[in-house]
Structure 1
Amino acid sequence: MRSIATVYEAKKRQILEVAAGILEREGAQAVSTRSVAAAAGVRAASLYQLFGDKDGLLAALAILAFDRYLDEKHLLPSTGDPVDDMRRGWDAHVDFGLRHPAFYLLMFGTDRPGRLPPAAAEAHDLVLKFLDRVAAVGRLRVPPVLAARLLQAASTGVTLSLIADPDENRDLEISARVRESVIGSLVTDAPPDAYSGLASRALALDAAIAAADQAGLPLRPAETALLRDWLQRLAR
């Protein structure tokens, strides 16, 4: 016999899938507690108990959207080249937005600053992992946190711009050009050389320390933190 919690979650998931269908077919303006309740065959009161108001329903849909986005991202195999993986990650991001524009607008076009779903933080962490690998091979020009912000701002802007274009005017070359421009400003193709490569070397060492077993480092925690602070300053 299924527990009450299991039945509750199954019902919630069913309603979310119905709401997701309405969202993708008709856009966020068509998602209301009344329309979703009618399509799911439940009473409006039941929907209010599960999600509260329309904002609560849309917030739950945003979480569902990020979960689907992350599922696709995790399926991307590594090429062995972290910079090529950055390119493939960019293309996958844009592709998801163009295939699921209503979801994407809900995820990244929010008019409520600071209220992104928890899964958005996981998506950001995934970008940082890519960038830590780039830093570890000495090819990142700026600290990973800054690089992640620049990448996400650029890829989101490009995707929203392409979504706004009519299908017949949509030019994916724009995405490729912006991608190469941004990535080119963040990474170096040549191995670091002399002082000109100091930032890349500092970032590589910082990434190696971050990935190391702290118990095996011949430094106290405070010394490790101080060293990483110096390395990040050298990388600016």
Structure 2
Amino acid sequence: MSPRDQEQTRRRVIEATIELLTREGRDAVTTRAVAVAAGLQPPAIYRLFGDKEGLLEAVAEHGFATFLAGKNLDPGPHGPVDDLEAGWDLAVEFGLANPALYVLMYADPARPASPAFTAGMEVLMGRIRRLAAAGWLRVDEHLAAAIIHATARGAVLTWLSLPEDRRDPALLTTLREAMLTAVTTREPATQEAGPAGAARALRAALPEQTALSEGERGLLEEWLDRLTHE
């Protein structure tokens, strides 16, 4: 089998697995059932993915890659806060549109980060850095990323756990507003008294600066981190 044929077969198996997962649930996803759905013999699944867990990991990676492909990688036209809000909504909408796949993607918190997941987090960190550079960030960049990620994932998984007649859209709106309140300031922090907001803004802009040596930049980052936590 040529590399191209192998890749096409892998994709056919992954798509068959997602269809089976969506239609019948995770318990129905067996190597034999997937092989039948993909028009293959069961040994082919083992040759391509190693075992069932390898197949499920490939399906989860496909989910992250699909979500990443649908993201707007360019800054939004309405400012960094609106860009963050739109990104949060997009993440939640993906989860609600692909419930079985989403649950699989986040079923194992200890699973090593996949390349697509890592790329998605880099997009999120870019949004957060723009918030910091503009003076809108209330907390440390990494804490902001954790809050944004946790509220979006929690919103989807909580929504899916509820009976359909108890799924109130106000849940999603309230969680999004709580995230924005926790992560962003009502006014750009660089216009307020105190060094923390200015320190966050300068800290976010440091990677683009070339006037400082690596050692000088590292020392300045340490000082700015201290200021933002006072």
TM-score computed with the length of structure 1 as normaliser: 0.90
Which aligned pairs between 1:75-224 and structure 2 lie closer than 5 A? 78-110=76-108, 113-191=110-188, 192-196=190-194, 198-212=195-209, 214=210, 217=211, 219-224=212-217
- Whether the aligned pair in 2 keeps the contact of 1:24 and 1:103 (CA below 8 Å) is yes
Q: Determine which of 212, 224, 229 is the counterpart of 2:222.
A: 229
Aligned match of 2:16:
18
- Whether the aligned pair in 2 keeps the contact of 1:63 and 1:119 (CA below 8 Å) is yes
AA partner of residue 175 (structure 1)? L
Deviations 1:56-106 (A, max 9, x none): 110000000001111111378713311011111111111111110111101
- Whether the aligned pair in 2 keeps the contact of 1:142 and 1:199 (CA below 8 Å) is no
**4+ aligned runs moved over 4 Å, structure 1:** none
Identity of aligned residues (%): 37
TM-score computed with the length of structure 2 as normaliser: 0.93
- Whether the aligned pair in 2 keeps the contact of 1:200 and 1:235 (CA below 8 Å) is yes
Gaps of 5+ in 1: none
Aligned match of 2:55:
57
Give, in whole Å, the separation in 2 of the partners of 1:74 and 1:61: 22
Give, in whole Å, the separation in 2 of the partners of 1:77 and 1:167: 35
> When the two structures are aligned, how many residues end up with a matched partner?
228
AA partner of residue 233 (structure 1)? R
Give, in whole Å, the separation in 1 of the partners of 2:198 and 2:67: 33
Gaps of 5+ in 2: none
- Whether the aligned pair in 2 keeps the contact of 1:82 and 1:134 (CA below 8 Å) is yes
Matched, 1:43 2:41: yes
Deviations 1:197-233 (A, max 9, x none): x221111111111233x2xx1x221011110121122
Distance 1:146 1:69, change over 3 A: same
Secondary structure, in 3 states, of the residue corresponding to 1:74?
Answer: coil
